[in-house]
Amino acid sequence: MMMQPAVTMQPAVTVQPAPYSPPPTPRMEPWGSAIFDCFENMSVCCLGFWCPSCLMCSTSQEMEEGFLLPLVDVGCPTMAMGTCIPGFLVCLPLTISPIALALRVAMRERYHIKGSVADDCLVTTFCNVCSWCQMAREIRLRRRPVVNNTQVTIVNMAAQYPVAPVGAAVPPMVSVVTS
């Protein structure tokens, strides 16, 4: 008669894995300034009016993208040409500015700004320089130093331990007492 090995029982699973919960979505905020609020920052407004390519390049650099990246859009028909409607002071662009659109979408995602790609597409197509001005103002607004109202106490340690002049004999800090 053969002996059969003893059967050992495996412990039952007592803890089930937790259900998946997606990370909380960040709170979406509006733009810091409206698209036509150019007079909130006159330096940005003037730069956008007199030298929009300079504004585009500096804004791109402040977004930590390529400094000359917006110059790709300058050759784009949106910037170079337009269909002017007789009797109106409006030029309708022929295409979308791809770099302006990409940087605007990236800025919205980075700073959790309300909006959509369709809104960005319309703004960068029909109000391109104003769009760049708004992005420049937003960067300056978001990079403003945050004031922390916590109180800091500075302890002057030099007052407790006087410094001996150079070359002077320094007394020992610990006295040895022998009995």
Q: Coil, helix or strand for 135? A: helix
Does residue 25 surpass a pLDDT of 70?
A: yes
Mean pLDDT score, 122-135 = 90
Least confident of 20-29, 52-61, 89-98: 89-98
Residue 136 has pLDDT above 90, yes or no: yes
The per-residue pLDDT for 75 is: 57
Q: Which helix (H) or strand (E) holds 91?
A: strand 91-92
pLDDT at 120: 94
136 neighbors 44 (Cβ within 8 angstroms): yes
Q: Please answer whether residues 35 and 134 qualify as being in contact, where contact means their C-beta atoms are separated by less than 8 angstroms.
A: yes
pTM of the model: 0.61
* Among 28-37, 130-139, 154-163, the least confident range: 154-163
pLDDT at 64 over 80: yes
Cα separation, 128 vs 1, whole angstroms: 93
In this structure, which amino acid lies at residue 54?
C
Q: Is 138 left (phi over 0), alpha (psi -120 to 50) or beta?
A: alpha
Q: Considering only CA atoms, which of 172, 176, 171, 99 is closest in space to residue 135?
A: 99
The answer to whether residues 44 and 38 touch, using CB atoms and an 8 Å cutoff, is yes
What tens digit of pLDDT does each residue of 70-107 get? 877 765 544 443 444 444 444 556 677 888 899 999 99
Pairing of strands 91-92, 83-84: antiparallel
How far does CA 75 lie from the centroid of its chain?
Answer: 28
Is pLDDT at 16 greater than 80 in this prediction? no
